[in-house]
Amino acid sequence: MNFRDGYLVAGQPLGALPQDVTLTADDTTIILSQQTALIRLYSDSTTAANRTFLLPPGWIIGQDLTICFMSTGSTTAQLQDSGNVALSAAWTPLVNDTLRLMWNGTVWVEISRSDN
């Protein structure tokens, strides 16, 4: 939904919804709904290069997306600075690390990251 241009989706809740994603293979493309603003990310691998993931285009210009890595232990994943993602460097999170992105119409631009 986008309140800036009045676009609402009938039958959908107002506000953003979290989405749980578990990476079980390399090069997984995450599917986003129009309401997804938070991805709670899980991985089953301790090798980041074996659990890289990709993001699809955003729904609207200015869409915010926060990714929080929720897996415990030594599991990890990796989002590369390539394609439709513009990061300061590849993101290789551990438990509770967070990445915030914004869709600019062409790429997901890194706003901030937190190593927790």
pTM for this model (two decimals):
0.85
12 pLDDT more than 60 = no
**Radius of gyration of the chain from Cα atoms?**
14
6 pLDDT more than 60 = no
User: What span, in angstroms and rounded, lies between the C-alpha atoms of 1 and 49?
Assistant: 34
What digits encode the pLDDT tens for the residues 42-71?
999 999 999 999 999 998 899 999 999 999
What DSSP designation does 75 have? -
Q: Residue 1: its pLDDT value, please?
A: 45
What digits encode the pLDDT tens for the residues 85-98?
999 999 999 999 99
* Banded model confidence at residue 72, pLDDT cuts 50, 70, 90: confident
Show the tokens assigned to 51.
């659990």
